[in-house]
């Protein structure tokens, strides 16, 4: 796979400063650039590398002006990081090709409905009443239970498990080990203190353009639906409990957990290892620093951090005071 700088610039509607006829065959980090590769500059911390990189071309912002002589050809765009994502998507499509067809070892119930141009890999199982939309890809050893609906252009990588009656939207990506629709954690103690299972009869609804990372689990609702709204991105190793609702375009980093019936608003950003108590509401456009513990509802948009979570200003003041506590104790005693 090889492209000229001119071809890339036309694809990105970009301005070229340098030799537009150079050929590129790979991408590289700016500090590790070699001839024939394309790199990018988005974070100002890496600006010094643009003067030493050996990469043949570099994506930069349109307002970038070199302060020293520069050897690499510049491809000037509005947003280098966004353009890099477009190029990586293009590269990935070339690498993977357009998988299509059903492997002979796949097991598809006669009452399942499989759309056009679908790929179903080895030992995948699709049960009765399930629907797989056009152009979707079901990788090996994936299990799709009864009456599950998979929308068009969605990808389920190897080892994904979708329990009965769950719904996956269009253009979704579920990575290996994802489990959708396992029972919510519902038990009721009797007079002897024995925990009896509460049947979980709801489902999970994942809307369009959602990506779920490896080994993340989303539990089915006790009644009704656990809902993941459009554009949500979930990292690896996340637990979403029963009857949770996550708003449009919210992103959650690895090892976070959301307890039952909590509702997280749209456009929130959640750092790694955050924990949300059950039955709380989080306002839209909230950010949470890593390892924050959110015990109560958050009614105002803003950035929160700490355990228990507080505004970032409060958290920073408290951190300063905590560091001073040994000196304060010595002064008092």
Q: Which residues are catalytic?
A: 242
Give CA torsion, residues 169, 173, 179, 185, to 10 deg. -60
SS (H, E, C) 40-79: ECCCHHHHHHHHCCCCCEEEEECCCCCCCCCCCEEEEECC
* Residue 18 DSSP one-character state: S
**Rounded CA separation 321/152 (Å):** 54
Q: Which residue, 283, 216, 211, is CA-closest to 251?
A: 211
DSSP state letter for 298: B
Cis peptide before 199 (omega within 30 of 0): no
User: In which element (H, E) is residue 313 found?
Assistant: helix 312-332
Report how far residue 306's alpha carbon sits from residue 2's, in angstroms, rounded to the nearest whole number: 48
Q: Please name the residues in contact with 90: beta carbons below 8 A apart, sequence gap of 6 or more.
A: 11
C-alpha–C-alpha distance, residues 215 and 205, integer Å: 18
The Cα angle at residue 185 between residues 184 and 186, in degrees rounded to 5: 95
């Amino acid at each position: 796979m090889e492209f000229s700088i001119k071809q890339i610039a036309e694809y990105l509607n970009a301005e070229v400063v340098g030799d537009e006829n150079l050929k590129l065959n790979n991408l590289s980090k700016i500090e590790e650039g070699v001839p024939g590769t394309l790199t990018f500059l988005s974070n100002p911390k890496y600006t010094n590398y643009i003067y030493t990189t050996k990469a043949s071309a570099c994506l930069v912002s349109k307002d970038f002006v070199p302060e020293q002589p520069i050897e690499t050809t510049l491809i000037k765009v509005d947003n280098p990081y966004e353009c890099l994502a477009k190029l990586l998507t293009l590269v990935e499509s070339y690498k993977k090709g357009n998988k299509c067809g059903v492997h002979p070892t796949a097991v598809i119930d006669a009452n399942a409905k499989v759309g056009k141009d679908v790929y179903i890999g080895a030992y995948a199982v699709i049960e009765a009443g399930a629907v797989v939309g056009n152009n979707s890809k079901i990788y090996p050893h994936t299990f799709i239970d009864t009456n599950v609906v998979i929308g068009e252009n969605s990808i389920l990588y190897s080892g994904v498990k979708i329990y009965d009656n769950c719904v996956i939207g269009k253009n979704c990506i579920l990575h290996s080990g994802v489990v959708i629709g396992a029972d919510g954690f519902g038990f009721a103690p009797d007079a002897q203190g024995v925990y009896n299972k509460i049947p979980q009869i709801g489902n999970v609804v994942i809307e369009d353009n959602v990506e779920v990372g490896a080994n993340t689990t989303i539990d089915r609702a006790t009644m009704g639906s656990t809902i993941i709204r459009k554009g949500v991105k979930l990292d690896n190793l996340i637990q979403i409990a029963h009857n949770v609702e996550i708003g449009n375009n919210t992103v959650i980093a690895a090892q976070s957990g959301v307890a039952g019936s909590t509702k997280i608003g749209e456009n929130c950003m959640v750092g790694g290892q955050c924990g949300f108590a059950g039955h709380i509401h989080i306002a839209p456009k909230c950010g949470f620093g890593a390892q924050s513990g959110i015990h109560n509802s958050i009614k105002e948009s803003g950035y929160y951090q700490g355990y228990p979570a507080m505004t970032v200003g409060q958290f920073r003041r408290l951190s300063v005071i905590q560091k001073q506590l040994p000196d304060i104790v010595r002064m008092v005693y």
